[in-house]
Structure 1
Amino acid sequence: MALPDKVAMSAAEVQAFIEQVFEQATHIRIEETAPGFSRCRLPFDTRHLRPGGTISGPSMFQLADCGLYAMILSTLGPIALAVTTNLNINFLRKPAPRDLIAECRALKFGRRLVIGEVSLFSADDPELVAHATGTYSIPPG
């Protein structure tokens, strides 16, 4: 399936939709959307820290997963039942205790599966802290 020429949902529309259907992720901010792309932010909060003063793996994992979901919504529109079927994350270096950014890109958009990648980095630092790849299942119809 080819990516559409224009965005199906703006960043603000994706944010509002997530706040309706995915309460666990309402602290994540959707900053930018485009067909096959999303940029999301996990605002810094001490609840995301692990011992050693770094952002925890589960917090990074959640941001990556939510970023992929936002990328799919921005491309296809409000599909509440799109679900993660696989998510693999490689932790590359210790993230700073500040906002975490996720840039998500589609690698393949099929009728039933979407494969994407996520680059995670600390705000104001171009060095990757983690890289993830994931697959989402799109419900029929």
Structure 2
Amino acid sequence: MTTRMTASQIEDYLDQVFPQLHFGGRTYFVEEVGPMSARMRCDYHERHLRPGGTISGPTMMALADLALYVAILAQIGPVGLAVTTSLNYNFLRKPGQAALIGEAKLLKLGKRLAVGEVALFSQGESEMVCHATGTYSIPAER
């Protein structure tokens, strides 16, 4: 399966339709997209921390949701109203004080639903810090 959008095209698209993503400065980056997959990075920044100096759960959740959305956009093109219908997170261990990497893989891509999973890692580490699964609703073509 070939992709319909490149990583740079998706970043440009997100800048246009979701500029609030970068409020306070850019920390989310699309590193690569491939068939049924995407890899994203969230830079380590103090605004993403919780007490104790670790990356917060909401930051990890946002990266997982965004990585899944990017994997879907890479396959279907710029569909702004593809929306999250469910997400489930399993926090496995405390992330390190490093950028967070999200590796998304689509398990199913249908006409109306996409199902995928995201593995989150601290950059440079091999042990997963969070595993997420999610479903997106894809609007009918008009």
Kept after mapping to 2: 8 A contact 1:108/1:115: yes
Q: Distance in 1 between matches of 2:39 and 2:6?
A: 12
| Structure 2 residue identity aligned to 1:24 | Q
| Structure 2 residue identity aligned to 1:66 | L
Q: Distance in 1 between matches of 2:110 and 2:57?
A: 29
User: Given the alignment, which residue of 5, 13, 16 partners 1:17?
Assistant: 13
Q: Tell me the SS of whatever aligns to 2:65.
A: helix
Measure how far apart 1:71 and its partner are. Answer: 0.3
Query: How many pairs does the alignment contain?
Result: 137
| Structure 1 residue identity aligned to 2:90 | N
Q: Distance in 2 between matches of 1:87 and 1:17?
A: 23
- What is the root-mean-square deviation in Å for CA atoms of aligned residues? 0.8
| Structure 1 residue identity aligned to 2:109 | F
Alignment of 1:62-141 (within 5 A): 62-141=62-141
Measure how far apart 1:110 and its partner are. Answer: 1.1
Q: Tell me the SS of whatever aligns to 1:89.
A: strand
Q: After superposing the two structures, state which structure 1 stretch, 24-33 or 88-97, moved more.
A: 24-33
| Structure 2 residue identity aligned to 1:59 | T
Q: Distance in 2 between matches of 1:67 and 1:23?
A: 16
| Structure 2 residue identity aligned to 1:72 | I
Q: TM-score, normalised by structure 2?
A: 0.94
Q: Percent identity?
A: 52
Q: TM-score, normalised by structure 1?
A: 0.95
Deviations 1:113-136 (A, max 9, x none): 000000000000011000000000
Kept after mapping to 2: 8 A contact 1:87/1:134: yes
Kept after mapping to 2: 8 A contact 1:113/1:137: yes
Extract unaligned runs of 5+ from structure 1. Answer: none
